[in-house]
Amino acid sequence: MNILVCIKQVPDTTEIRIDPNTNTLIRAGVPSIVNTFDTYALETAVKIKDADPGAKIVVATMGPEQAKEALKTCLSVGADKAYLASDRAFGGSDTLATSYVLSCVVKELEKREGAPFDLIFCGKQAIDGDTGQVGPELAKHLDYPQITNALEVTPEGGKIRARRETEDGYEVLEASLPVVVTVTKTAYEPRYASVKSKMAANRAVITVLTAADFAIDTERTGLKGSPTKVKKTFVPQRKKGGVKLQEETGVLAAEKLTAFLSDAGVI
Amino acid sequence: MSEYKNLWVYIEVLNGSAKSVGLELLGPGRRMTDAVGEKLAAVVIGSGVDEAVKSAAAYGADQIIVAEGADYADYSSEAYEYAMAQLTHKYKPSTILIGATSQGRDMGPRLSCGLKTGLTADCTGLEIDTVTGNVQWTRPAFGGNLMATIECPNTRPQIGTVRPGVFKRGMPDAARTAEIIREDIPVPAGTVRTTLVEKIAEAAEAAVKLEEADIIVSGGRGLGKPENFALVKDLADVLGGVVGASRAAVDSGWISHAHQVGQTGKTVGPKLYIACGISGAIQHLAGMSGSDVIIAINRDPDAPIFDVADYGIVGDVKEVLPALTEAIKKYKA
Ligand SMILES: Cc1cc2nc3c(=O)[nH]c(=O)nc-3n(C[C@H](O)[C@H](O)[C@H](O)COP(=O)(O)OP(=O)(O)OC[C@H]3O[C@@H](n4cnc5c(N)ncnc54)[C@H](O)[C@@H]3O)c2cc1C
Ligand SMILES: Nc1ncnc2c1ncn2[C@@H]1O[C@H](COP(=O)(O)O)[C@@H](O)[C@H]1O
C-alpha cells in the first residue's frame, strides 16, 4: 500500500489575536503547526502502516521554505519520506490552483518513488482558510473517487472502507483504489514523536521541487491560475455584550432571566 | 461569459424532502436575481423528490430543474457532480448556491474543479455587484478571527457554499407555481467508484438537528462531569430545545460529536442559544454567534462568552440550571 498524505503548514489559529488599534490580525509570534486535520490524516495512514508494515507513507506540501519544519514533524511521527513543492509561481494560489499543483506533484512523486499511490489523504480542511476544497479538487484533477469527512479508514483487499460523518449520522462507503480521502477529527489522537525519531527527522533530507523540476503549466498556478480573488478582509463585528447579572442565588438569577426571556419573546 | 445567466440554488434532499438550507438560500437568491434582472432556478437531484420540488416552488423558485432517477437514489460525489456538470453545460447559469452541508461541501469543490471555475466555501454573507454581476462572497477564515470578501470575476458559473442557518427561510406560499423542467441524465457505467455500504442515522436522542433548532442549550467543560449534562437536557426539554456542546465536552467523552457546535462542529442560528459552562473560545463562537439571543451562564465574570451574550449570569451552572428549569416550568404553567 503506497500512501500519500498532503499536509499544510498553518498558523495556530487558537493563538491569533486581533490588534485592537489597527483591527488586524497579529500574526507575529503566532506559532506555525501542521494543520490539525492533517495530523489526523497522517495518524490514520500510520495506523494502516502499523497493520501492514510493507506500506509506505510519503508526505508532501506546497508552500514556502519554512514548511520543511512541518514536514519534519510528520517524519518524526511515522512518515517515511517528505517532499516540498516550492516556487514563486505557486504563491497566491487559491484552492483550484493549489489542487492543480498538488495533482502535478502526485504524478511526479509516483515517478520518483517508482509506484503509484493507492491512497491519498488530505485533512478535512485547513484551519487557516477553512475551505475544505483541496481534497475533492485534487480527486477531480486526478479523476479519482473521493471520500470526505472520514473518521475511520480500513483497507479491504483492493479497496478501502471508510466511515464518513454527516449531519445525520454516519455513512459507510467503499471505494476502489486509488482514492482521495479527507479526514476529520478521529476518535484517536495522533501519536507523539520520540526523542530518537525527532532527531532522525531533523537530519532527514527533504527534496524541494520547483516548477522547473516537474511537468506543470504555471499559467494555471499562483494568482494567474486562481479564479477567486480576495477583494477585502476585515475583522468581524462582535455584538456588544448585553446585561451581565451577578445574583446572590441561582434562584434569583433564574427568575430575572426568565423575565428577560419572556420580554424578549423567545419563550 | 455573457452567455451565462440566472442563479441556481441546489436543493439538497433528505428522505424526499428539501433540507432547510436550500429553501433558506432561495431568499438571497431572489434578492440577487431581482437586482440583476435574471431568473431564480432550483435544482433538485434524487429519486422520489416531489415533496422537495413543491417546497422549492413554494419558497420562490421561478424554475425547477429536476434530475430524477435510480442512479440518484443515494447521494454519491461522482453521480451528483456528473448531473450538476451536465446541467451546467446545458443551461449555463451565472451563479450556483449550494448549502455548506457535508454533501454540499463534498460535491461543490468537485464540481467547480471540473468546470475550472471558482468556489467560495462556507459563506455567511452574499451580495451582488449589479454592474459586473460578480457575487461578493463573504466568509470567515482563521477560525472566525477574520472575514474575507471574495469574487470570481473571470469565470462562470461562480459557485459558493453557504452555511445553514445564516439566512432565515422566507414564508412559503403553497399556491405559487414554478416552471418544471425534467431532465433524464443516466450516469455512464464506471462513473461512480464508491458504494454506500451502510447509512447509520444517529440514535433518536443523538439525531440532533442542531442546524434547524429554534432553541439550543449547550454544555461545556464547566459542567464538571458527564452526569451534569442531565441538567442541560432538563432545561432543553422544558424549552422544547435540543442539546449542544463545546468541543471540550465532546473531547472529554461526555457527549457525542454530533452535538458539537463550532468551527469543527455545527454552525447554528437558533432564536435562543444558552451556553452553560462554556468559555467562549473563538472556535466555539464561530459556530453560534449568529444566534438571535445568546444567554451565557459562567462562573468566571471575565469569560469571553459574555462578550457576545445578550444576557449573562455569573454563577455556578449546578445551581443556576436547576433553578432556571424550575422558573421556566412555573412560567409556562
Ligand atoms: C482547530 C480547532 C477547532 C476547534 N473547534 C471547536 C469547535 O468546533 N467547537 C468548540 O466548542 N471548540 C472548538 N475548539 C476548541 C476551543 O478552542 C476550546 O478549547 C473549547 O471551545 C473550550 O470548551 P469549553 O468552553 O467547554 O471549555 P473551557 O475553555 O475549559 O471552559 C469552561 C468554562 O466553564 C466555566 N466553568 C467552570 N466551572 C463552572 C461552573 N461550575 N459553573 C459555571 N461555569 C463554570 C469556566 O469559567 C470556563 O469559562 C477548537 C480548537 C481548535 C484548535
Ligand atoms: N498547500 C498545500 N499543500 C499540501 N496540502 C494542502 C495544501 N493546502 C491544502 N492542502 C490539503 O488539503 C486539505 C484541505 O485544505 P483546504 O481546502 O485549504 O481547507 C488540507 O487539510 C491538506 O491536506
Query: What CATH number corresponds to the domain at position B243?
Result: 3.40.50.1220
Distance between CA atoms of residues B125 and B198, nearest Å: 36
Looking at residue A238, its pLDDT comes to 65
Considering every ligand atom, which ligand is closest to the CA of B260?
A: 1
Confidence category of residue B1, pLDDT binned at 50, 70, 90: confident
Please check the confidence at residue A243 and state whether its pLDDT lies above 90.
no
Q: Which among A8, A71, A184 is the best mutation to test ligand 2's pocket, defined by most ligand atoms within 8 Å of the CB?
A: A8
Please check the confidence at residue B156 and state whether its pLDDT lies above 70.
yes
Mean pLDDT over each residue of chain A, to the nearest integer: 93
Angle separating helix axes A67-76 and A195-203, nearest 10 degrees: 140
Distance between CA atoms of residues B266 and B260, nearest Å: 6
> Residue A124 C-alpha to ligand 2 middle, in angstroms?
8
Q: pLDDT tens-digit profile of A126-163? A: 988 889 999 999 999 999 999 999 999 999 989 999 99
Range(s) of the domain holding residue B273: 203-332
Is residue B190 assigned to a domain? no
Considering every ligand atom, which ligand is closest to the CA of B301?
A: 1
Q: Give the amino acid at B253.
A: G
Considering every ligand atom, which ligand is closest to the CA of A60?
A: 2
Cβ distance A230 to B152 less than 8 Å, yes or no, reads no
CA distances from A183 to A120, B1, B213 (A): 11, 36, 27
Residues of A in contact with B149 (CB under 8 A): 230-234
Q: Are B162 and B255 found together in one domain?
A: no
Distance between CA atoms of residues B292 and B280, nearest Å: 16
Considering every ligand atom, which ligand is closest to the CA of A61?
A: 2
Q: What backbone torsions phi and psi does residue B171 show, to the nearest 5 degrees?
A: -85, 130
Instruction: Taking the CA atoms of B80, B86, B91 and B92 in sequence, report the sign of the dihedral they define.
Output: positive
Please check the confidence at residue A217 and state whether its pLDDT lies above 90.
yes
**Protein residues with CB under 6 Å of any ligand 1 atom:** A 14, 36, 127; B 220-222, 224, 246-249, 260-265, 277-279, 281, 283-284, 287, 297-300, 303, 316-318
Is residue B208 assigned to a domain? yes
Is residue B105 assigned to a domain? yes
- Strand residue runs (E) in chain B: 7-11, 13-14, 17-18, 40-46, 63-68, 95-99, 119-123, 125-128, 135-141, 146-151, 158-162, 179-183, 194-201, 215-219, 242-245, 272-276, 293-298, 311-314
- Strand residue runs (E) in chain A: 2-6, 9-11, 17-19, 24-26, 32-34, 56-62, 81-85, 119-123, 146-156, 159-166, 169-176, 179-183, 207-209, 229-234, 243-245
Task: Say yes or no: A185 contacts chain B, CB-CB below 8 A.
Answer: yes
Is residue B1 assigned to a domain? no
Is residue B197 assigned to a domain? no
Among B136, B142, B166, B260, most A C-beta atoms within 10 A, so best to mutate, is B142
Residue B215 labelled as part of a binding site: no
Q: Are B216 and B301 found together in one domain?
A: yes
Of B77, B140, B200, the CB nearest to A130: B140
Q: Are B116 and B65 found together in one domain?
A: yes
Residue B278 labelled as part of a binding site: yes
Among B183, B213, B231, residue at a domain's last position = B183
Q: Are B257 and B171 found together in one domain?
A: no
Average pLDDT rounded to a whole number, residues B155-169: 92
Residue B27 labelled as part of a binding site: no
Looking at residue B207, its pLDDT comes to 58
Question: Which of A151-174 are b and which e, b meaning 16 or more Cβ less than 10 Å from the residue's Cβ?
Answer: bbbebeeebbbbbbbbbbebbebb
Q: Are B294 and B276 in contact (CB under 8 A)?
A: no
Residues of A in contact with B108 (CB under 8 A): 133, 136
Q: Are B56 and B173 found together in one domain?
A: yes
Residue B282 labelled as part of a binding site: yes
Cβ distance B198 to A233 less than 8 Å, yes or no, reads no
Average pLDDT rounded to a whole number, residues B245-272: 90
Q: Give the amino acid at B325.
A: T
Q: Are B168 and B69 found together in one domain?
A: yes
Q: Structure pTM? A: 0.88
Residues of A in contact with B277 (CB under 8 A): none
Is residue B193 assigned to a domain? no
The CA distance from A205 to the nearest CA of chain B, in Å, is 31
Q: Are B164 and B214 found together in one domain?
A: no
Please check the confidence at residue A23 and state whether its pLDDT lies above 80.
no
User: Residue A127 CA: which ligand 1 atom is closest?
Assistant: 1
Is residue B189 assigned to a domain? no
Residue B261 labelled as part of a binding site: yes
Report the SS3 class of residue B199.
strand
Cβ distance A172 to B200 less than 8 Å, yes or no, reads yes
Task: Say yes or no: A130 contacts chain B, CB-CB below 8 A.
Answer: yes
Looking at residue A21, its pLDDT comes to 73
Distance between CA atoms of residues A135 and A102, nearest Å: 10
Distance between CA atoms of residues A222 and B210, nearest Å: 39
> Residue B245 C-alpha to ligand 1 middle, in angstroms?
9
Higher pLDDT, B204 or A55: A55
Average pLDDT rounded to a whole number, residues B22-46: 97
Q: Are B24 and B143 found together in one domain?
A: yes
Q: Are B29 and B171 found together in one domain?
A: yes
Looking at residue A26, its pLDDT comes to 77
Of B108, B154, B306, the CB nearest to A244: B306
Q: Are B176 and B290 found together in one domain?
A: no
Decide: A181 in ligand 2 pocket, CB within 6 A.
Answer: no
Least confident of A16-30, B20-34, B279-293: A16-30
The CA distance from A204 to the nearest CA of chain B, in Å, is 31
Q: What number of C-beta contacts closer than 8 Å exist between A and B? A: 272
Q: Are B40 and B9 in contact (CB under 8 A)?
A: yes
Q: Are B179 and B207 found together in one domain?
A: no
Q: Are B233 and B288 found together in one domain?
A: yes
Looking at residue A266, its pLDDT comes to 86
Cβ distance B77 to A146 less than 8 Å, yes or no, reads yes
Q: What CATH number did the domain enclosing B48 receive?
A: 3.40.50.620
**In this predicted complex, what is the ipTM?**
0.88
Residue B246 labelled as part of a binding site: yes
Decide: A74 in ligand 2 pocket, CB within 6 A.
Answer: no
Looking at residue A24, its pLDDT comes to 72
Looking at residue A13, its pLDDT comes to 78
* DSSP structure string for A78-129: T-SEEEEE--GGGTT--HHHHHHHHHHHHHHHHHHHTS--SEEEEES--TTT
> Residue A6 C-alpha to ligand 2 middle, in angstroms?
7
Residues of B in contact with A139 (CB under 8 A): 77, 110
Pull the grid cell for residue B298: 459562567
- Which residue in the block uniquely carries the three cell numbers 477564515? B141
Q: pLDDT tens-digit profile of B174-218? A: 999 999 999 999 999 999 999 999 998 865 455 568 888 899 999
Residues of A in contact with B322 (CB under 8 A): 250
Distance between CA atoms of residues B275 and B262, nearest Å: 12
Among B120, B153, B183, residue at a domain's last position = B183
Query: Considering the domain A2-220 in this protein, what is its CATH number?
Result: 3.40.50.620
Higher pLDDT, A238 or B13: B13
Residues of B in contact with A243 (CB under 8 A): 310-312
CA distances from A204 to A73, A199, B32, B104, B208 (A): 11, 9, 54, 40, 47
Total structural domains in chain B?
2
Confidence category of residue A27, pLDDT binned at 50, 70, 90: confident
Among B183, B211, B232, residue at a domain's last position = B183
Decide: A70 in ligand 2 pocket, CB within 6 A.
Answer: no
Distance between CA atoms of residues A38 and A125, nearest Å: 8
Confidence category of residue B293, pLDDT binned at 50, 70, 90: very high
Distance between CA atoms of residues A42 and A54, nearest Å: 16
